[in-house]
Amino acid sequence: MTFIIIALLLLLAVYIGTQRLSGLQTAAMVCFVLFGIVLVVFQDLTTNLAHALNVGRGTDLLFYCSLLAGLFLASNFYFRFKRNEDVNVAVIRQIAIDHVIEPSEKWKAE
Amino acid sequence: MVSGDLWIVVPALNESESIRGVVASLRAAGYEYVCVVDDGSTDATGRIAHESGAYVLRHIVNLGQGASLQTGISFALSRGAQYICTFDADGQHSPDAIATMFQILALRDVDVVLGSRFLGRTVGMPWGRLILLKAALAFTQLHSRLRVTDAHNGLRLLSRKAASEITIGQPGMAHASDILQQVADKGLTYAEVPVTITYSEYSKRKGQPGFEAFKILLDLLYRWMAYRR
């Protein structure tokens, strides 16, 4: 099982290598993969860490870390979505202004 | 005021029932430059607004009221507007208020004049709406530190200076708080004017549902975080 999980993590690393990520994002993902491998190889490490942090079990520590990672990813996607929204709004606004429909001459004459 | 100086910006989404009356009342009151921003309506709002004598700008997809206001304001500025009035499309506002707002702007020499239903009066306002508006007001007062009495009134008069300096970054309904925040941040001067808001069955049907308040809060939080980055 250990080898399968390590293989999956390495596959994830290869996949990350094919993605267009920023330096910071690549570094974060590489750390994630390395951290995962370390935890799989040294299984008592999470328990020791959990005790040191006064969390309880190693499983709980991993669960809390996953929650934090999920929240981070969700907020990251939200910010990206908002940035894309800003671009869409600017483009659609310009199209609207470029194609303004003027009132007919009847109204302009009044 | 020279006639060409003032542009009225009316954001509209699926307002085919009311837009003719709104544009006609503004034209009848002597306002020549009425700009309806059709925010991706699926009905005949744009066509009716054009037939009624308005300039029509059409968003090819729905973006939200804030985005529509900014589109109309950008367009009016490009046409040389010296003053820009924002006006709702659902018939809640009276064109008579615009002249009063303009007088206040000139007399007090302020950059922005805000309509306030809580200084004036409301006709047929539901209790749920009152609670929502008061909650939004408390948030805006806390956030912007402006002592306004009505944070979400669509009736506003902006000088060219204010319209140029304010960029509405909130495409959705959070734009009202966004505008006030920018008034505070940019040190623009403002005054409030009592106005009457009439809630018809139609306007109540078109109003924002309660859960929008949560979305507005999320949008404002995002914008606050984005500005601080």
Q: What was the pLDDT predicted at A24?
A: 81
User: Which carries the bigger pLDDT value, residue B169 or residue A100?
Assistant: A100
Does A96 sit within 8 Å of B37, measured CB to CB? yes
Residues belonging to chain A with any Cβ–Cβ distance to chain B shorter than 8 Å: 78-79, 82, 85-86, 88-89, 92-93, 95-97, 99-104, 107, 110
Does residue B214 have a pLDDT over 70?
no
| Per-residue pLDDT reduced to its tens digit, A50-94 | 888 888 888 888 889 889 989 988 888 888 888 899 999 999 999
Residue B105 has pLDDT above 60, yes or no: yes
**Structural domain tally of chain B?**
1
Give the pLDDT confidence of B150-176 residue by residue, as tens digits.
988 899 999 999 999 999 988 877 888
Question: Using a CB-CB distance cutoff of 8 angstroms, which residues of chain A are in contact with residue B55?
Answer: 100-103
Q: What is the pLDDT of residues B118-145, one digit of tens each?
A: 898 888 888 887 888 888 788 888 877 8
- Selected for mutation to probe chain B from A75, A92, A106 (highest B CB count within 10 Å) is A92
Q: What is the C-alpha to C-alpha distance for residues A6 and B47, in angstroms, rounded to an integer? A: 63
pLDDT-derived band at B198 (thresholds 50, 70, 90) equals: confident
pLDDT at B178 over 70: yes
pTM of the model: 0.79
Query: How confident is the model at residue A110, as a pLDDT?
Result: 64
Residue-averaged pLDDT of chain B: 88
Contacting B residues, span 53-72, partner chain A, CB-CB under 8 Å: 53-61, 63, 67, 70-71
DSSP line for chain B: --GGGEEEEEEESS-TTTHHHHHHHHHHTT--EEEEEE-S-SSSHHHHHHHTT-EEEE-SS---HHHHHHHHHHHHHHTT-SEEEE--SSS-S-THHHHHHHHHHHHHT-SEEEEEEEEEEEES--HHHHHHHHHHHHHHHHHH----S-SS-S-EEEEHHHHHH------STTHHHHHHHHHHHTT--EEEEEEEEE--HHHHHHSPPTTHHHHHHHHHHHHHHHHH-
pLDDT tens profile A26-36: 888 888 888 88
* Residue B210, pLDDT score: 57
pLDDT tens profile B44-102: 999 999 999 999 999 999 999 999 999 999 999 999 999 999 999 999 899 999 999 99
Query: Between A15 and A87, where is the model more confident?
Result: A87
Is the distance from CB of B107 to CB of B189 less than 8 angstroms?
no
CA distance B190 to B13: 29
Q: What's the pLDDT at B65?
A: 93
Range of the domain at B27: 3-228
* Predicted local distance difference test score (pLDDT) of residue B229: 47
**Dihedral pair phi/psi, residue B110, rounded to 5°:** -105, 165
Which candidate, B92, B40, B42, places its Cα nearest to that of B200? Answer: B92
DSSP state, residue A18 = H
Q: How far, in Å, CA of A82 to CA of B67, rounded?
A: 13
* pLDDT at residue B111, rounded to an integer: 96
User: Any idea what the CATH number is for the domain that residue B107 is in?
Assistant: 3.90.550.10
What pLDDT is stored for residue B74 in this prediction?
Answer: 97
For residues B177-182, give the mean pLDDT.
Answer: 89
